[in-house]
């Protein structure tokens, strides 16, 4: 717990990155209690939806090898959201596409998978192949789901809302760049958030203002492959198994919740060079870096 | 960079609904469209009361492009001080239209009770980003009431510096106002005539032009503190006389009114306004302190000190905000509570208390709370008290016995409701 002027900052590590919660309008003991509450919620969600653990909700679904699994309420709600995002995005947003990570290693190098390797995975991708009858899910054998595209943003929202329900403090939850504010700062002013601009060589940040709601960024300057002068970003088209061509390097979206912002940012990236045209119509704040 | 201009349908509404299923809810901000409505009541007991309704909408198109629109409807009724002094006898005044009259009892401040008006004001504007750090804004304004119309336009430019910790802005605005008074514009300093068509009038409507220029600076001092400075210059030219206000000409010995003449103000006014504000985040909420200084070539100088202290109260966006304001102004050079019979007329004269010397206090309390996810309610009550010198030195004869600057007490009530989607 650090004191920064009139703010308290609680720092912790989760979701494979640094996390921070900023609190104001409260005393130190209250800040510590609220930061612990937020961190515990984030860790709970990370643990519950980890695809690396067989005993997690997601691990159990993936390990069922074709059998139907009845899921708990919270998991059911996230799967329902995933199903709707798939439909709303015309199949672009797909929680079954994580399996492509087996052949795509975005480490800044130049090792592309072969066409055959990618093609071999395509039969294992597609939400449409999943039998989802809330609250029962059955994945065809070999398929996997990965809620990583929703989990971090959902955790930011949940943590912020738990804090808001527990105390009148104004809070900003930042999970490695996915943010959610409980509202404006105590004086009604906006939170000022620095967002990295990968297009700038000096790594200058752009300061965005948010008075509440969520902010999420899709795209990562460090996760790409470069081969024959072509940059392959890490956003993969679930229908081809190949990176979306012509997509911005990063898209940041501001929306009422971090989860909505995250989905819109990801779907925008999946629109490739049409990302801005897609965002134009959404009535949210956005910022594309090319 | 979009290769085509194909338009995409919005998935946002359906997505919000889907997210709501997960149990997470957005807070009542960062909406694409925000609508605010408010009803404000203003009442000076036994004098003017006004009811104002406001509808305001703002749409965020993304990427710093904003549009806003506002409609205000005011209804005003009641009586307002005409400027004439009280007298020992019943006084009869002709209504501004020349048709009909009203009387004032001995010792009472003459109030013109024909005040009844409705005003509609409409304004709209847009803000666009200009590069990464600058924005331009422009807007139009129009208002109308039965004897007054105003049309205006404004434009401003602002640019961020120092990692967006400093914003400099500059703006200009122009408006043209036209007054077409009930019965026409009386000739300045002409005596009020009895009921009938004989009141000498100026030809045509009165109009004035208002030009304003503004320079502003907003600086973030630290994570909790923000300061703001603004300088404005305002130049008004044209007809600025209030066609309904009178000045009493009194007997230099007895103080009894012998004539009521129409007031007359200069046709040019230049104002300079300096404004400073500090906003600071505190453990319990936020403090907002501001000071405004205005001086003009009519000889008026005014000071306004205003303090708001927002105190957060539990969850649900609840807060209480006490408000305190102190205002004081010196009188215009040509302010005269009365004129003496037999003395030479000055170039200009007004007895309008709004141009006299006075000070005023406002005390208020505002409460706000969220009503569910996208809705917000605020309620405010304020008390205003304006005090001037009721017994100015040199009041001749009987005038010394009367309160020549009655205290104005007013209550203000406001309920606001806003929502976003």
With CB atoms and an 8 Å threshold, state whether B15 touches A287: no
Q: Specify whether A4 is located in the same domain as A66.
A: no
* Mutation to test the B interface, candidates A150, A186, A196, A208, most B Cβ within 10 Å: A186
* Mutation to test the B interface, candidates A38, A42, A187, A247, most B Cβ within 10 Å: A187
Q: Specify whether A134 is located in the same domain as A151.
A: no
How many CA atoms lie less than 13 Å away from B190 in the CB half-sphere?
Answer: 14
Report pLDDT for B373. 63
DSSP A100: G
Shortest Cα distance from A165 to chain B (angstroms)?
Answer: 6
Residue pair A182/A170 in contact by the 8 Å Cβ criterion: yes
Distance, in Å, from the CA atom of B273 to the CA atom of B269, rounded to the nearest integer, reads: 13
Chain B residues whose CB is inside 8 A of the A280 CB are: 7-8, 61-62
Torsional sign, CA B9, B14, B18, B24: positive
With CB atoms and an 8 Å threshold, state whether B25 touches A257: yes
Q: Which of A84, A182, A274 sits opposite B3 (nearest CB)?
A: A274
Bridge-based pairing of strands B33-43 and B65-81 is: unpaired
Chain B residues whose CB is inside 8 A of the A154 CB are: 22, 24
With CB atoms and an 8 Å threshold, state whether A4 touches B15: no
- For the stretch A31-62, pLDDT in tens is 899 999 999 999 999 988 887 777 788 888 88
Which residues face B381 on adjacent strands?
B365, B413
Is the whole model's pTM more than 0.90, yes or no? no
Shortest Cα distance from B177 to chain A (angstroms)?
Answer: 36
Q: Specify whether A32 is located in the same domain as A154.
A: yes
**Between residues A63 and B212, which one has the greater pLDDT?**
B212
Tokens of A176: 């490695």
Residue A131 lies in a domain: yes
**Between residues A222 and B198, which one has the greater pLDDT?**
B198
Read off the pLDDT band of A154 (50, 70, 90): very high
**Lowest-confidence region among A46-60, A220-234, A255-269, B187-201:** A220-234
Shortest Cα distance from A279 to chain B (angstroms)?
Answer: 8
Q: Specify whether A196 is located in the same domain as A287.
A: yes
Q: Which residue of B has its CA nearest to A259?
A: B19
Distance, in Å, from the CA atom of B209 to the CA atom of B240, rounded to the nearest integer, reads: 10
Residue A137 lies in a domain: yes
Q: Which residue of A has its CA nearest to B226?
A: A189
Chain B residues whose CB is inside 8 A of the A211 CB are: 29-30
Report pLDDT for B29. 40
Distance, in Å, from the CA atom of A85 to the CA atom of B17, rounded to the nearest integer, reads: 11
Q: Which of A166, A246, A260 sits opposite B19 (nearest CB)?
A: A260
Q: Specify whether A254 is located in the same domain as A201.
A: yes
- Exposed, middle or buried, B155 (CB in 10 Å: 0-12/13-18/19+)? middle
Q: Specify whether A112 is located in the same domain as A130.
A: yes
With CB atoms and an 8 Å threshold, state whether B26 touches A188: no
With CB atoms and an 8 Å threshold, state whether A281 touches B9: yes
Domains contained in chain B, CATH given? 34-420 (2.40.160)
Report pLDDT for A245. 83
Q: Specify whether A132 is located in the same domain as A272.
A: no
Report pLDDT for A94. 93
Please give the average per-residue pLDDT across A28-33, as a whole number. Answer: 88
Residue A156 lies in a domain: yes
- The dihedrals phi and psi of B133, each to the nearest 5 degrees, come to -120, -5
Distance, in Å, from the CA atom of B344 to the CA atom of B252, rounded to the nearest integer, reads: 13
Q: Tell me whether A149 touches chain B (CB under 8 Å).
A: no
Q: Which of A161, A263, A290 sits opposite B24 (nearest CB)?
A: A161
Q: Which of B14, B30, B132 sits opposite A256 (nearest CB)?
A: B30
Q: Specify whether A70 is located in the same domain as A129.
A: yes
Q: Tell me whether A264 touches chain B (CB under 8 Å).
A: yes
Residue pair B34/B61 in contact by the 8 Å Cβ criterion: no
Q: Specify whether A116 is located in the same domain as A27.
A: no
With CB atoms and an 8 Å threshold, state whether A165 touches B224: no
Which residues face A152 on adjacent strands?
none
Report pLDDT for B30. 44
Distance, in Å, from the CA atom of B31 to the CA atom of B40, rounded to the nearest integer, reads: 25
Residue pair A279/A273 in contact by the 8 Å Cβ criterion: no
Q: Which residue of A has its CA nearest to B314?
A: A168
With CB atoms and an 8 Å threshold, state whether B18 touches A88: yes
Contacts of A101 (CB under 8 A, 6+ apart): none
CATH code: domain of residue A261: 3.10.520.10
Chain A residues whose CB is inside 8 A of the B60 CB are: 283, 285
Chain A residues whose CB is inside 8 A of the B14 CB are: 84, 88
Residue A210 lies in a domain: yes
Q: Which residue of B has its CA nearest to A264?
A: B12
Please compute Rg for chain B using Cα positions. 26
Q: Using N-to-C axis directions, what is the helix angle for B12-21 and A258-270, rounded to 10°?
A: 130
CA dihedral B28, B55, B137, A274 (to 10 degrees): 50
Chain A residues whose CB is inside 8 A of the B27 CB are: 164, 181-183, 212-213, 256
Residue A184 lies in a domain: no
Tokens of A235: 């956003």
Chain B residues whose CB is inside 8 A of the A212 CB are: 27-30
Which residue range forms the structural domain that includes residue A261?
A: 190-290
Q: Using N-to-C axis directions, what is the helix angle for A73-88 and A258-270, rounded to 10°?
A: 40
Tokens of B78: 């009641």
DSSP A150: H
Distance, in Å, from the CA atom of B281 to the CA atom of A26, rounded to the nearest integer, reads: 11
Residue A78 lies in a domain: yes
Contacts of B144 (CB under 8 A, 6+ apart): B119, B120, B121, B150
* Mutation to test the B interface, candidates A154, A257, A273, most B Cβ within 10 Å: A257
* Residue tagged 């205000």 (tokens): B72
Q: Which residue of B has its CA nearest to A89?
A: B11
Chain A residues whose CB is inside 8 A of the B23 CB are: 74, 77
Chain B residues whose CB is inside 8 A of the A48 CB are: none
Read off the pLDDT band of A203 (50, 70, 90): low
Chain A residues whose CB is inside 8 A of the B9 CB are: 281
Report pLDDT for B1. 41
The total number of structural domains in chain A stands at 3
Chain B residues whose CB is inside 8 A of the A168 CB are: 312-315, 318
Q: Specify whether A97 is located in the same domain as A231.
A: no
Report pLDDT for B155. 96
Q: Specify whether A107 is located in the same domain as A159.
A: no
* Mutation to test the A interface, candidates B7, B13, B27, most A Cβ within 10 Å: B27
Q: Which residue of A has its CA nearest to B10?
A: A282
**Between residues B71 and A219, which one has the greater pLDDT?**
B71
The residue from A158, A178, A198 where one domain ends is A178
CATH code: domain of residue A86: 1.10.3980.10
Q: Would you say how long chain B is, in residues?
A: 421
Distance, in Å, from the CA atom of A208 to the CA atom of B40, rounded to the nearest integer, reads: 35
- The dihedrals phi and psi of B68, each to the nearest 5 degrees, come to -140, 155
Distance, in Å, from the CA atom of A51 to the CA atom of B31, rounded to the nearest integer, reads: 34
Distance, in Å, from the CA atom of B322 to the CA atom of B310, rounded to the nearest integer, reads: 7
Report pLDDT for B14. 79
Distances A197 to A208, A254, B115 between C-alpha atoms, Å: 12, 16, 60
**Coil/strand/helix, residue A45:** helix
Distance, in Å, from the CA atom of B365 to the CA atom of B131, rounded to the nearest integer, reads: 41
Q: Spell out the per-residue pLDDT of chain B, length 421, in tens.
A: 434 446 677 787 778 877 777 777 654 344 578 899 999 999 998 888 999 999 999 987 766 788 999 999 999 888 889 999 999 999 999 988 888 899 999 999 999 877 678 999 999 999 998 877 889 999 999 999 989 999 999 999 999 887 677 889 999 999 999 999 988 899 999 999 988 888 889 888 899 999 999 999 998 887 678 899 999 999 999 999 999 999 999 999 999 999 999 999 999 999 999 999 998 877 777 899 999 999 999 999 999 999 999 888 866 678 899 999 999 999 999 999 999 999 999 999 999 999 999 999 999 999 998 887 678 899 999 999 999 999 999 999 999 999 999 999 999 999 999 987 7
Q: Tell me whether A116 touches chain B (CB under 8 Å).
A: no
With CB atoms and an 8 Å threshold, state whether B286 touches A84: no
Report pLDDT for B197. 82
Q: Which residue of B has its CA nearest to A257?
A: B26
- Exposed, middle or buried, A75 (CB in 10 Å: 0-12/13-18/19+)? buried
Tokens of B230: 């603004």
Residue A65 lies in a domain: yes
The CA-to-CA distance between both ends of chain A, in Å, stands at: 36
Chain B residues whose CB is inside 8 A of the A188 CB are: 286, 310
Q: Tell me whether A26 touches chain B (CB under 8 Å).
A: yes
| Inter-chain Cβ pairs, chain A and chain B, closer than 8 A | 196
Q: Specify whether A31 is located in the same domain as A103.
A: no
Chain A residues whose CB is inside 8 A of the B313 CB are: 168
Tokens of A13: 């590590």
Residue A121 lies in a domain: yes
Whole-number average pLDDT of chain A:
85
With CB atoms and an 8 Å threshold, state whether B27 touches A213: yes
């Amino acid at each position: 717990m650090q004191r920064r002027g009139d703010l308290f900052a609680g720092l912790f590590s989760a979701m494979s990155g640094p996390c921070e919660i900023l609190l104001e309008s409260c005393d130190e003991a209250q800040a510590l209690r609220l930061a612990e509450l937020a961190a515990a919620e984030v860790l709970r969600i990370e643990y519950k939806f980890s695809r690396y653990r067989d005993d997690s909700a997601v691990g159990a679904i993936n390990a069922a090898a074709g059998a139907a699994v009845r899921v708990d309420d919270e998991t059911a709600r996230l799967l329902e959201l995933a199903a709707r995002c798939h439909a709303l995005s015309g199949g672009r947003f797909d929680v079954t596409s994580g399996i492509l990570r087996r052949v795509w290693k975005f480490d800044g190098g130049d090792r592309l998978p072969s066409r055959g390797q990618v093609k071999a995975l395509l039969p294992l991708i597609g939400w449409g192949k999943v039998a989802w009858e809330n609250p029962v899910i059955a994945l065809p054998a070999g398929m996997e789901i990965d809620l990583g595209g929703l989990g971090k943003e959902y955790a930011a929202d949940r943590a912020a809302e738990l804090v808001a329900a527990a105390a009148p403090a104004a809070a900003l939850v930042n999970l490695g760049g996915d943010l959610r504010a409980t509202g404006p700062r105590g004086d009604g002013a906006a939170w000022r958030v620095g967002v990295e601009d990968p297009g700038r060589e000096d790594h200058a940040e752009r300061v965005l203002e948010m008075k509440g709601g969520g902010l999420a960024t899709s795209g990562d300057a460090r996760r790409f492959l470069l081969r024959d002068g072509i940059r392959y970003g890490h956003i993969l088209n679930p229908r081809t198994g190949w990176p979306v061509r012509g997509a911005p390097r990063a898209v940041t979206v501001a929306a009422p919740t971090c989860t909505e912002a995250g989905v819109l940012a990801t779907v925008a990236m999946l629109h490739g060079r049409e990302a801005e045209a897609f965002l134009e119509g959404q009535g949210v704040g956005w910022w594309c870096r090319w | 960079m979009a290769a085509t201009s194909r338009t995409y349908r919005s998935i946002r509404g359906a997505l919000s609904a889907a997210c709501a299923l997960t149990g997470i809810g957005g807070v009542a901000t960062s909406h694409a469209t925000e609508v605010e409505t408010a009803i404000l009541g203003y009442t000076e007991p036994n004098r003017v009361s006004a009811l104002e309704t406001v509808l305001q909408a703002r749409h965020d198109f993304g990427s710093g492009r904003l549009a806003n629109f506002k409609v205000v409807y005011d209804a005003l009724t009641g009586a307002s001080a005409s400027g004439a002094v009280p007298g020992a006898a019943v006084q009869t005044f002709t209504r501004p239209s020349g048709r009909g009259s009203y009387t004032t009892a001995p010792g009472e401040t003459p109030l013109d009770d024909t005040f009844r008006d409705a005003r509609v004001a409409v304004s709209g504007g847009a803000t666009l980003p200009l590069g990464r750090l600058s924005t331009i804004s422009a807007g139009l304004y129009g208002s109308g009431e039965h004897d007054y119309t105003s049309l205006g336009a404004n434009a401003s430019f602002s640019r961020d510096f120092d990692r967006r910790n400093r914003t400099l802005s500059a703006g200009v605005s122009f408006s043209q106002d036209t007054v077409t008074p009930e019965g026409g514009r009386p000739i300045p300093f002409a005596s009020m005539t009895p009921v009938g068509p004989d009141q000498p009038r100026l030809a045509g409507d009165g109009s004035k032009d208002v030009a304003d220029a503004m320079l502003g600076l907003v600086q973030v001092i630290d994570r909790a503190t923000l300061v703001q400075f603004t300088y404005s210059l305002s130049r008004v030219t044209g007809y600025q006389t209030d066609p309904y206000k009178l000045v009493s000409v009194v007997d230099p010995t007895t103080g009894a009114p012998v004539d009521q003449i129409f007031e007359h103000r200069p046709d040019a006014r230049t104002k300079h306004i300096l404004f400073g504000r500090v906003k600071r985040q505190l453990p319990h909420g936020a403090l907002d302190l501001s000071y405004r200084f205005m001086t003009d070539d009519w000889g008026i100088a005014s000071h306004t000190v205003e303090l708001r202290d927002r105190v957060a109260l539990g969850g649900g966006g609840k807060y209480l905000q006490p408000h305190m304001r102190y205002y004081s102004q010196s009188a215009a050079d040509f302010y005269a509570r009365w004129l003496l019979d037999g003395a030479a007329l000055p170039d200009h004269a007004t007895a309008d208390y709004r141009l006299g010397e006075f000070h005023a206090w406002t005390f208020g309390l505002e409460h706000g709370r969220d009503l569910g996810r996208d809705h917000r309610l605020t309620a405010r009550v304020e008390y205003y008290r304006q005090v001037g010198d009721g017994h100015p030195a040199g009041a001749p004869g009987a005038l010394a016995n009367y309160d020549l600057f009655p205290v104005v007490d007013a209550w203000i009530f406001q309920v606001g409701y806003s929502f976003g989607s």
